[in-house]
Amino acid sequence: MFDFSVVTHWVDQLLRSFLPEGWAILTEFILIGLCLLVGYAVIALVLIYVERKVCAFFQCRLGPNRVGPYGLIQSVADMIKMLTKELITINHVDKFLFNLAPYIVIIASVIAFSCLPFAKGLEIIDFNVGAFFVMAVSSMGIVGILLAGWSSNNKYSLIGAMRSGAQMISYELSIGLSILTIIVFTDTMQLSQIVANQADGWFIFKGHIPAFIAFIIYLIAGTAETNRGPFDLPEADSELTAGYHTEYSGMHFGFFYLAEYLNMFIVAGMATTLFLGGWMPLHIGGWNGFNAIMDAIPSIIWFFGKTGGLIFIIMWFKWTFPRLRIDQLLTLEWKYLLPINLVNMFLMVIVVVFDLHF
């Protein structure tokens, strides 16, 4: 399986061969930042197109089919339109916080996105508390949402922000406990090490019943965390006229829009890393020929293939189930998911203490 660290080391040596060390490091930072932003934007555009096609499929429609072949350039056209839209100035708002809010949301999303191990040797940020860092950074987005709702001086925006705050803070507990269940099983918070520990089997298979339960709860809580249907109360169009970003226009609205789709990718990417082996191929003990074929598939395809499958499931949720009421949403978390998660983590502790591994 190809190791992308060969490419990164070659680039590093090339830059150091004709630049001083400080300038070489600065150039690498700039290149990594540009690659990160381009990847972020491209994935967002692809997900917007896929969302429209999946929605159309479930509703027996065609979806985008005019701008470019099969409507492939529709998302690009929408991006251009968004970039050229006027940033409308709203009266009687807190202008500083109003303008700051979308940047907080997008920065939190970009940093969390940069922590994902995309392929073998293709990791931007990798250190011994990686899982904890992703949880901490991704939870910053709620600050931007609350600021957006409060600074807009709009009661509908404020209600949407308050709903989003209650929802995200609640479901972060279930996400955290699901991740902690895997951390207990692996005894590490370093994402690259978690992936390496799944070389002989993905945790959803070899982590016993607690790992499977944690995976299901993580998917449900992750869908709620990203304000996706059927948990899209903060953006309920029929009630709140789009929620906390009602007063935003132009690229400021675009930041919220992009962050929602990339947060969905981050949730699916973390699920892939923690439960489905990350970029690790599927191996079956004793099937050497099958394992050799699996190893021939590039690691980056494994990661994006698994992540894409989970994204489709999250989209399936949205276009299948009706929207929950706010009391149903919070009851699901506090009376069901959270207690199940606590018991499930206790079961994982028993598995680890008594060495009940496959």
What confidence tens digit (pLDDT) does each residue in 323-358 have?
A: 888 888 889 999 999 999 999 999 999 988 888 765
Question: In whole angstroms, what is the distance from residue 130 CA to residue 76 CA?
Answer: 33
What confidence tens digit (pLDDT) does each residue in 23-76 have?
A: 888 998 999 999 998 999 899 899 999 999 998 998 888 888 888 888 888 888
Please give the helix or strand (H or E) that residue 258 lies within, else none: helix 250-275
pLDDT at 9 > cutoff 80: yes
- The pair of three-digit structure tokens given for residue 137, joined into one six-digit string: 């950074």
Question: In whole angstroms, what is the distance from residue 220 CA to residue 142 CA?
Answer: 18
pLDDT score of 358: 56
Please give the helix or strand (H or E) that residue 95 lies within, else none: helix 95-114
What confidence tens digit (pLDDT) does each residue in 226-266 have?
A: 888 788 776 666 665 667 788 888 888 888 888 888 999 99
pLDDT score of 240: 55
CA dihedral defined by 242, 111, 220, 284, rounded to 10 degrees? 140
Length, in residues, of the chain: 358
- The answer, as to whether pTM is greater than 0.95, is no
CA 141 to chain centroid, in Å, comes to 12
pLDDT score of 200: 82
The count of C-alpha atoms lying within 13 angstroms of the C-alpha of 25, restricted to the half-sphere facing its C-beta, is: 2
pLDDT at 142 > cutoff 70: yes
122 SS3 class: strand
Beta bridge partners of 122: 119
Range among 44-58, 148-162, 249-263, 281-295 with highest mean pLDDT value: 44-58
Beta bridge partners of 119: 122
